[in-house]
Structure 1
């Protein structure tokens, strides 16, 4: 057999006293697609960055051979010649990986100029061809666009074009679809598969995919390597690993898919939220003389109607820009003028006057956001964060009684009471989300808006948080307005679901009925793109229904 393209032998990474990767040995053949999976902190990304020589202030050990050349022994100048030429990388968040001050064309041309010595006109022509190859419409025009002028999917396609510009032998893809909507995610997966097969046939290009998305691994990779706490615990072909995992950690990962544990809603459950014919407009900046009159109106939500009963979970699904978050913020009273009617416990939202009436509303409704780190103040202790709502809504609760209440809330979400003295940065992502849930529970709300509460979490942590939310709903008959683009989570959590596209509700009904037999083409395309559908038919369904 021929020597592997990449051969990692007894590789270790140490940051001071912390051993981040321990004795990792892994090889990748030419033309092979390998997935490196594991939870946050398992050492996946550190390994990938080490291949590129981008890990600073760390002690690296072992060998990392690319076609027999030890990457760990190369100087920085030698690595600059390897990066982009022999090894390229597609990052998770293209908006932060792309330079906002340069056009897409200039960023592609830079790599072509440095590694292939192309002149500006030749580099531009090659850039246009690369953008066309990755499926960006009107590449002759888009090549002069800045990153902020492209959609998320287009930015990721542009990053892939940059990565492939110099025909690398090894492509590293670090969570390349996590930040994308489900339909765009499927398109990017199909694109990577197509391009890799083309490049594998021409130059033997291999791909190392780093992800915690097991559906993506199942569809994309030929072989899987599993890491836990810096140690490689299992390696096998994709089919064998998914059908018969050997290591307990791999078994736990594969068992982390959310399972449905929805309690039936009482037949006489009262309606907590009643929305009728809701329409929300935004003002956009006008051009020329139109700016004198405040610009144009953009309708973000069109005549939406829904109800939510006590103890029920209503799921809201759709892609970015579909109006999900606008709908939620309007229901919470955080949005400006809106048409239609919103009733909370039968009381019209528009009829509330004065700070006192508004406070009573906010006591009934709370929200848990997507990013637990961004929604918790880094300058406040957990005691202050969880107790803030109590200070506003239950000012009579003071001193030791208030601390006991906060400690009880933390224990209720699975955290020790003494953790109230610590700060958010001292907790993991899953623990921070539990703190956010404790903060929402503090004022004993009737309804909680959950805005993508698990999308930033690893699969096993996600399952724990969903189980916690289910348990809390059962105990307190909480109502959830659950916003997500993850249909597996929706299937596990929601009694009913509404599907939004371009600000309109295009389908709604019982969750299992909608997900098992969708009637609207858009819902069908979401299911196909979510990778819950049969992989062989998903792409065809997506192409048929996406229009």
Structure 2
């Protein structure tokens, strides 16, 4: 079949299999020159495999069908031909730049490598082009930053550097695999605006197209001109962005669009006891002074400035802000993990500072547990689920016999919706949502009063995210748990939090009832967060207290 003069990429009847397991089945998808297309779906839907198959980066895969780039079938090319094509004609921006970038080489050397291989530029010319690319992607002081290593850049700067590398050889097709998932709302908006601006400029000059892989529906609505929806390896719907959001046809698409977090928090009794009381909390970090100041010793950096907050039984307090705002420092200090703190932290009226012995601190710490952002990174890969969930019981409830401990672990797994056969399995055998349920079961094992939830759903798909939020809401209502909920996702915060504090540069700049703050934010920083989240500040009419 001849290629349309407008179509840059044509995928025809593509199937991808690993042995007898087919993960992409009979996929047909086109991307026109100068077009932005989004491929959406949950984890396991086959969208990332599809993108990687275009570059033939899926190992041990068996392909059928055709992948045409300007009429040339990429599945028929040799590996040597594909090496010449990767980065030059088709480039990719990956989800996690810290993993995708080589930590041993500067940003400049990594950009220069592509320019040297594909365009034969000499070192000085490659460096000059690299500086221009960094400037174009909005990295400040590009002449200095080009000699920085990845760990010396912020998350947003690393993602901009990845985009600069991808655009170095001016590809015809850019594949962007979840390019904003791990970023704050304001940085996310900056990256989206950057990608749109760069694509429109390149499209006008060379017809560059973008295929975006994502589960972020707000991002899709803002970025894409057309949307393709995948479920379990099958393309179930494709339409213009406006038409698909206005009138989805397939049940799976409707379910995805209906998975946006909904508010279902219960009212907190007026006489609820105070579980957490923080007064004038400040945290200072020691840093190495630079220049002549080093002659006078080390310097200090204040990460928290006189923070005051309270949290009652059965209440959720949302903590929002960008990276570096002090959210994680606040959480670690409340948990007793931060020694360089002044002020007072009271748990059930007992101050952390008064606990002198390890036994006393351990007894109080049992009242607080934490659920982390990355469930896979926070669960030991060498321990079974039974060992992971039962670890807290072994430490804090030593009087419990092994048989009773196993029974409690089984009951907890049932409570969070995991199958009975999960006891003897390992974390890698579960999906992301199931691993987060394991982390929640582990936190509940010692019957705490307070859970610190540090971005517990940011790494999850929208539908799985909603399932975890529903679980947390149900557990709170059943056990009267208090949540300190740290997030940069305002939709999640709106769904879960009774009250919210907004942090910037270690200070609380705004605090109040969640819906009131969202309806009428008083501080300019809060308004900028709302604008960057691509959501209206007014709460949905469905979002009333249960």
Aligned equivalents of 2:279, 2:199: Cα separation in 1: 49
Residues 24-51 of structure 1: per-residue CA shift (max 9 Å, x gap)? 1101111110000111111111111111
1:9 correspondence with 2:24: no
The reply on whether 1:335 has 2:338 as its aligned counterpart is yes
Deviation of the 1:441 alpha carbon: 1.0
**Pair 1:30 & 2:33 matched:** yes
Local SS of the residue matching 1:509: strand
User: Which whole-Å deviations, capped at 9, do the CAs of 1:35-73 have from their partners, x for residues lacking one?
Assistant: 001111111111111111211111111100001100011
- The answer to whether the Cα contact below 8 Å between 1:408 and 1:417 also exists between their aligned partners in 2 is no
> Aligned to 2:376, what secondary structure does the other structure show?
coil
**2 CA distance for matches of 1:525 and 1:7?**
40
* 1:245-277 CA distance string (max 9 Å, x none): 111111111111010001011000111111010
**Deviation per residue, 1:505-546 (Å, 9 max, x gap):** 111111111122111111111111111149xxxxxxxxxxxx
1:126 aligns with 2:124: no
1:55 counterpart = 2:58: yes
> Structure 1 403/145 Cα, relative in aligned 2: closer, same or farther at 3 Å?
closer
Name the SS for the 1:421 alignment partner: coil
The answer to whether 1:459 aligns with 2:462 is yes
Map 1:83-162 to 2 at 5 A.
83-162=86-165
Instruction: Tell me how far apart the structure 2 counterparts of residues 60 and 293 of structure 1 sit (CA, whole Å).
Output: 65
Structure 1: give runs of 5+ residues left out of the alignment. 535-547
Maintained 8 Å contact 1:265/1:311: yes
- Paired with 2:82 and 2:33, the residues of 1 have a C-alpha distance of 21
SS at match of 2:183: coil
Matched residue SS, 2:423: helix
Q: 1:240 to 1:397 in 2, by over 3 A?
A: same
Tell me the distance in 1 between the aligned counterparts of 2:477 and 2:299: 46
Tell me by how many angstroms 1:128 deviates.
Answer: 1.9
> What does residue 358 of structure 2 align with?
355
Q: Which moved more, 1:414-423 or 1:187-196?
A: 414-423
The offset of 1:204, in angstroms, is 0.8
Structure 2 equivalent of residue 544 of structure 1: none
Secondary structure of 1:471 counterpart = helix
The answer to whether structure 1 residue 366 and structure 2 residue 369 are counterparts is yes
Describe the SS at the equivalent of 2:418: coil
1:272 is the counterpart of 2:275:
yes
Per the alignment, in what secondary structure is the counterpart of residue 193 of structure 1? helix
- In structure 2, the residue matched to 1:400 is 403
Matched residue SS, 1:269: coil
Q: What TM-score, normalized to structure 2?
A: 0.95
Q: Which residue of 1 aligns with 2:484?
A: 481
1: CA distance, partners of 2:342 / 2:216 = 40
SS at match of 2:375: coil
The one of 2, 17, 21 aligned to 1:18: 21
**Which of residues 498, 514, 528 is equivalent to 1:495?**
498
Measure the CA separation in 1 of the matches of 2:399 and 2:419: 25
Residues 54 and 489 (structure 1), Cα distance of their counterparts in 2 relative to 1, 3 Å cut: same
Q: In the alignment, is the contact (CA less than 8 A) between 2:182 and 2:458 conserved in 1?
A: no
Aligned partners of 2:193, 2:348: CA distance in 1, in Å? 47
Q: C-alpha displacement at 1:140, in angstroms? A: 2.1
Query: Following the alignment from structure 1 to structure 2, what is the Cα–Cα distance between the partners of residues 482 and 322?
Result: 15
Equivalence for 1:541:
none
Q: Does 1:444 align with 2:447?
A: yes
In structure 2, runs of 5+ residues without a counterpart are 538-546
2:210 is matched with which residue?
207
Q: Deviations over 1:331-356 (max 9, x none)?
A: 11111131111111111111112133
Residue 537 of structure 1 corresponds to none
Q: Partners of 1:364 and 1:399 in 2: how far apart?
A: 22
Equivalent position of 2:427 in the other structure: 424
Counterparts of 1:287-302 in structure 2, within 5 Å, are 287=290, 295-302=298-305
The CA distance in 1 between the partners of 2:434 and 2:296, in whole Å, is 48
Match of 2:246 among 243, 256, 261: 243
C-alpha distance in structure 2 between counterparts of 1:440 and 1:127, whole Å:
47
SS at structure 1 position matched to 2:330 = helix
| SS of alignment partner, residue 377 of structure 2 | coil
Deviations 1:415-448, CA, capped at 9 Å, x for gaps:
1233112111111111111111111111111111
Aligned-residue offset at 1:329 = 0.9
Aligned counterpart, 1:543: none
**In structure 2, C-alpha distance between the alignment counterparts of 1:291 and 1:141, rounded to whole Å:** 22
Q: Please say which of residues 360-369 and 94-103 is displaced more in the overlay.
A: 94-103
Aligned length: 534
Say whether 1:309 aligns with 2:285: no
Q: Distance in 2 between matches of 1:248 and 1:126?
A: 48
Whole-Å separation in 2 of the counterparts to 1:463 and 1:145: 39
Q: 1:292 to 1:430 in 2, by over 3 A?
A: farther
Displacement of 1:294 after TM fit?
6.2
Q: Does 1:73 align with 2:76?
A: yes
Deviations 1:439-485 (A, max 9, x none): 11111111111111111111111100000000011011110000011
Question: Which whole-Å deviations, capped at 9, do the CAs of 1:195-227 have from their partners, x for residues lacking one?
Answer: 111111111111000000000000000001111
CA distance in 1, matches of 2:121, 2:536: 44
Q: Structure 1, residues 1-39: CA drift from partner, whole Å, max 9, x if none?
A: 634110000111111222111111101111110000111
Hey, what does 2:541 align to over in structure 1?
A: none
CA contact (8 A) 1:381 1:423 kept: yes
How far did residue 113 of structure 1 move?
A: 2.2
| CA distance in structure 2 between the aligned counterparts of 1:294 and 1:9, rounded to whole angstroms | 66
Q: 1:385 to 1:294 in 2, by over 3 A?
A: farther
